[in-house]
Chain A
Amino acid sequence: MVGETHDAQMTKIAVVTDLHANKEAVEAVFAHARAQGATEWAFLGDFVGYGADPAWVVDQVREMVEAGAAAVCGNHDEAAVIGSTPQMRTEARLVIDWTRAQLDPGQLDFLAALPFQVQREDRLYVHANAYAPSQWEYVQGRADAVRSIHATTAHYTFCGHVHEPALYHLGATGKAGDFKPTPEVPIPLPGYRQWLVIPGSAGQPRDGNPAACYAMFEPAAQRITYHRVPYDHESAAAKIRAAGLPERLAARLAEGI
């Protein structure tokens, strides 16, 4: 490719989303991505909420953002900054108040300063969708995906919020498709089609597989690989219980639901 250096050819971007204060999962994902040769990092938000280690996760991400990683704000991060409201369900209020109490002012400031979207070259990073990044509507099907793709000129949109891995595409002929990715199989994402990548949640997988999700994007090769990383979810669940957070949040990690 003209004008690209050797380094650009080797770029591997680890895209991690919905970390949800799960230290054990995040550690496992980081170790896996480093072993895979990740050269860049992108975080699609929801660093906190549900899990027992919000401060640790925020510190890690802040450090990596200072070193150049991209990061956007998720709805849980926003809630931690704003605090709970009386309209929230009891459980949500409990979790948000607990999370907020775990974070020092510096960590809260970091979350408060996160943008809703980041565009780098032909890649858009956003938590929920590209058409209303701060409204938290889910991309739950082809129609939503097309709406999001139409809202950006980027070839590649990476979003989180939805915890199950998915891949959507829109061709030059105006037809959209969706695909349930097979983990560990590199998928070509040619740039003459627009793609919307949902890596799936690292900290609270919900597709029936407890292993943590993330995706590795290789811009030069135009290729993405969805990964699943097994981690010590029993320890993560034990910490949630020890913190007095709702039992349901601990139990679901073992089943990935």
Chain B
Amino acid sequence: MVNAPRKPKLPPQRSGTVRSSGAFNSGAGGGSRGGRDWYDIGSMGPPLEKGAIVDGFLLEKRLHQGGMASMWRVSRVDAEGQPAPVADEPPLIMKVPRIKGGEDPATIVGYEVEQMIMPALTGQHVPRYVARGDFTRQPFIVMEHIAGDTLRPRLAEAPLALDEVAEIGIRVATALHDLHRQHVVHLDIKPSNIMFRPDGAAVLVDYGLSRHEHLPDLLEEEFSLPMGTGPYMSPEQVQFIRNDPRSDLFALGVMLYHFTTGERPFGAPTSVRGLRKRLWIDPVPPRALRPDCPPWLQEVILKCLEVQPDKRYQTAAQLALDLQQPDQIVLTRRAERMVRSSQWTRLKRWFFALGAEPQESAPSATEVLNRSSIIMAAVDVDNASPELLDQLRETVRRIVLTEPGARLACVSVMRIARIGTDALTDHTGKSLHVKQLVSLKHWARPISKSLNLEDGRLTFHVLEAPDPADALVDFARRNQADHIVMGARGNSLLRRYLGSVSSTVVAESLCTVTVVRASAPTETEAGAKPPAPDTPNDFAPS
């Protein structure tokens, strides 16, 4: 055992600043302290062997030995060493940090951070946390074992098929949004930290560099060099900002660029100087490297790689929404670019980046998510009364008005038979789908005009489904909508036969639902009489 680990004295800003080189470096400074033994690190004993039992976990097989940690497949055993599985528990893996003689602040603090953040996470996009070890005896984290490989080996196969690139983007963005909703910014998104469940859901692993908005950031003061993995680090991470969820979207953009073109957009710098170049040098447009890259994909990738977080997608959900409807993506000059910016532009950017201090405080995950919600207007363009359509539009307009960062997805459902084929073209031969889309756009026109919804903030979707309520709930879930606004079916006769769509959506959606009614032209005093047969009263038992 070693008392009072000392900070290694490193020359400031030496090369190999970043984690990709195996371990991240500490900055200089920090005093050593003598005479205490409470933070002696317990891993200086003999290395762990197969068959060892640690705090009730049997080490079955070493799956991986990395620079930072080793991974063991483990199972629970009782005091006699007999198998003692816990019901409903997934296969387990134990992550054991490799701590070199107590003089390795990078590993120690990274492990502390992961141990702090993992228990706070839930859901299918993170490995389930099971147990942690006492640092003074044997540090470890036991978690769910996600089978299969990470995305890392796929880099060797890049460029990948375009639809696969988009699919990876959708899945990772969906997982990231779920993480950001839990107040955590990952800050080390890269292929080797991404795995997939059998159902295709992306799982994000390794929280050693992450930041939880509501927990102390142990890394904040620890290191005087930027933290992250060189090729993937966002410009603001280079400038020591550690709480902006949009940093993860930059890293995802780097991944998508690499999978699309087979090349890294910013190379693999190992010095701070090299890292800072991304503040003013933009990457070669993907279409210049891969001619069949569609403009919409270039638009998405370059938007993720914007230097200013405000110019990127504001949330991962908004990115996932775009990737799921490429034909709805509004193409800007980004999509057309075939060469990097001119020397002169770069020089200007370099000049401004020179003295650029990072923003005083970046917006937190909660703030960014709150101001960048996805609002879904469910519009029954064919059947709703004109009064209800007007009222719905006015309600949606007010909501969008109060949320300048929000995106509006206008959705209409085209009912199709469960069995057999429908006539999907009417007698004029015009696609009913297109017709409905035209009506939907017409409905939304006053909103887009009065609010100046530019830059892809407004999208239209016609869903073909036998059950409108199911289709709406499913669309909201897939696109991680924050708020559904819809009309109540006004005609009680229809409702009686068809059931209430809005009450089903209210009951089954995971997000907020606002149900809009047209103001009823009743002449009776309120409450004096039961509602007239045609009074909207969507929730009445039928």
Contacts and interface: CB of A to CB of B under 8 A. Distances in A.
Interface stretch (B27-35, B228-236, B312-320, B422-430): B27-35
Given A191-B135, A192-B135, A192-B136, A175 B115 contact: no
A122 to B, nearest CB: 8
A171 B36 contact: no
Nearest to B223: A175
A191 B143 CA distance: 21
Contacts of B214: 182, 185, 187
A172 B5 contact: yes
A194 B216 CA distance: 13
Contacts of A190: 112, 115-116, 135
B7 interface: yes
B23 to A, nearest CB: 14
A171 B26 CA distance: 13
A172 B222 CA distance: 11
B39 A193 contact: yes
Interface residues of A, number: 24
B109 A171 contact: yes
Interface in A157-196: 167, 169, 171-179, 182, 185, 187-188, 190-194
Contact of A167 (B5, B216, B221): B216
A173 B38 contact: no
A244 B152 CA distance: 73
B26 A173 contact: yes
B216 A173 contact: no
B464 interface: no
A192 B38 contact: yes
Nearest to A178: B216
A153 interface: yes
Nearest to A168: B216
Interface in B69-125: 102, 105, 108-109, 112, 115-116, 119
Contacts, number: 76
B282 interface: no
Nearest to B366: A182
B5 A188 contact: no
B222 A175 contact: yes
Contacts of A171: 105, 108-109, 112, 218, 222
Contacts of B26: 173
Contacts of A178: 216
A150 interface: yes
A193 B136 CA distance: 11
Interface size bracket, B side = 20 to 34
A12 interface: no
B119 A188 contact: yes
B36 A153 contact: yes
Contact of A191 (B5, B32, B38, B221): B38
B7 A174 contact: yes
A191 B222 CA distance: 18
Contacts of B7: 173-174
A155 interface: yes
Nearest to A169: B216
A178 B119 CA distance: 21
Contact of B218 (A1, A155, A177): A177
A150 to B, nearest CB: 7
A173 B135 contact: no
B116 A173 contact: no
Nearest to A176: B221
A193 B32 CA distance: 14
Contacts of B136: 191-192
Contact of B33 (A1, A174, A187): A174
B137 to A, nearest CB: 10
B147 to A, nearest CB: 28
B362 to A, nearest CB: 16
Contacts of A177: 216-218, 220-221
Contacts of B119: 188
A179 B218 CA distance: 10
B117 to A, nearest CB: 9
A176 to B, nearest CB: 7
B112 A173 contact: no
A173 B41 contact: no
A173 B10 CA distance: 14
B2 to A, nearest CB: 11
Nearest to B220: A177
Interface string B185-219: 00000000000000000000000000001111110
A56 B86 CA distance: 51
A173 B102 CA distance: 9
Contacts of A173: 5, 7, 26, 30, 105, 108-109, 222
Nearest to A167: B216
Contacts of A179: 215-217
A153 B218 contact: no
Interface in B316-336: none
Nearest to A155: B38
A175 B27 CA distance: 11
A188 B215 contact: yes
B38 A188 contact: no
Contacts of A153: 36, 38
A92 to B, nearest CB: 35
Contacts of B30: 173-175
A182 to B, nearest CB: 4
Contacts of B36: 153
Interface in B216-252: 216-218, 220-222
A111 B221 CA distance: 41
A176 B389 CA distance: 59
Nearest to A174: B30
Nearest to A173: B105
Interface string B19-61: 0000000100011110010110100000000000000000000
Q: For A173, A177, A182, which residue has the most chain B Cβ atoms within 10 angstroms?
A: A173
B217 A174 contact: no
A178 B216 CA distance: 7
B108 A172 contact: yes
Which residue of B105, B217, B218 has the most chain A CB atoms within 10 A of its CB atom?
B218
Contacts of B33: 150, 174
A185 B109 CA distance: 21
A193 B115 CA distance: 13
Interface in B113-150: 115-116, 119, 134-136
27 contacts: A1-B134, A155-B38, A169-B216, A169-B218, A171-B108, A171-B112, A171-B218, A172-B5, A172-B105, A173-B5, A173-B30, A174-B33, A175-B30, A175-B222, A177-B216, A177-B218, A177-B220, A179-B216, A187-B214, A187-B215, A190-B112, A191-B38, A191-B135, A191-B136, A192-B39, A193-B112, A194-B38
Given A171-B105, A171-B222, 14 more contacts: A167-B216, A169-B216, A172-B39, A172-B102, A172-B108, A173-B222, A174-B30, A174-B33, A176-B221, A177-B220, A182-B213, A187-B216, A190-B116, A190-B135
* Top-7 shortest CB links A-B: A174-B30, A179-B216, A192-B135, A173-B105, A172-B39, A182-B214, A185-B214
